[in-house]
Structure 1
Amino acid sequence: MLNKFWSLFLKTLWPALWPIIRETVVEITQDLFTRLRELISERFTKATSDQEKQAEQRAVDAEEKSREASSDNERIQAEAEAKAWREVAQQLKADNATLRQELEEAVRLSQVYARKRIDSEAERDKAQERIMSLKPPSEAGRLPTAENQD
């Protein structure tokens, strides 16, 4: 009886359920990608912001040092250091903006790839073959029957 029900389930109900299951898997996958992107973006933004602030602070410190310099030589040296740190801060901002864009693009392409793969005929056929090859739960040892209860 269970074998007949299982066969009926696989032939009639499964094709109706599969699109719902597939869409649910796609939504979950996209949610995971989105959350992963947010987490990476938050950590990346914090780390890069800290680097930029540190470089900017070193530039400010060097400018202050140049104002307090006791000789022209010390002042010139401190001004050069401040200029170098400002350039480092600007370069970090530019590099980090580029990296942020590359990260966004990589995540977006991953989402597109995952969706195409899930929707592909080959993947659908593989999933269908796997489903149709499943044994009824009683044969797979999942449900107790009168024969195997003792």
Structure 2
Amino acid sequence: MSAAASLPLRDVQLPPSPSWWPPAPGWWLVFVAIMLVAAAIWAWQWRRRRARQRWLDLFDAQVAQAGSPVLEVAAIAELLRRAARQYQPGAERLQGDAWLAFLDEKNSRAFSGGDGALLLEGGYRPSVDAEAVQRLRVLARRRYLSLLTERRR
């Protein structure tokens, strides 16, 4: 018998499976792409929140600078017309009931049938109820923001 025949046969030895770390270069690219998308979404939302806050600060500052309730109504009307121009060019020229109907949101008659009607003549009265102006301010502030954030053009 030869020496080769006396060697015991063993099964094929497989190499160890690759470890999970470090990942292959393709996984690094997928990770970087996901991080870039997440950073872009975060930056977009941050910028949008910042712009929203600036608009609200502008609204509050303009109304606060008015000295009387009558001037507050005039300032609110001016701000709403500016926002309407951004939302839909030409909308700022609407008058009367058409203007109030434009300001009404879906399924709401808050302007044409509620506190918002003060916009039509409140800026021209000698005096206005301060509570009515406060209710108008809350209503108009919400609509002002919605006109600026939902740009139609």
Q: Which TM bucket (shorter chain)?
A: 0.3 to 0.5
**Which of the two has greater helix per residue?**
1
Normalization by structure 1: what TM-score? Answer: 0.36
Normalization by structure 2: what TM-score? Answer: 0.36
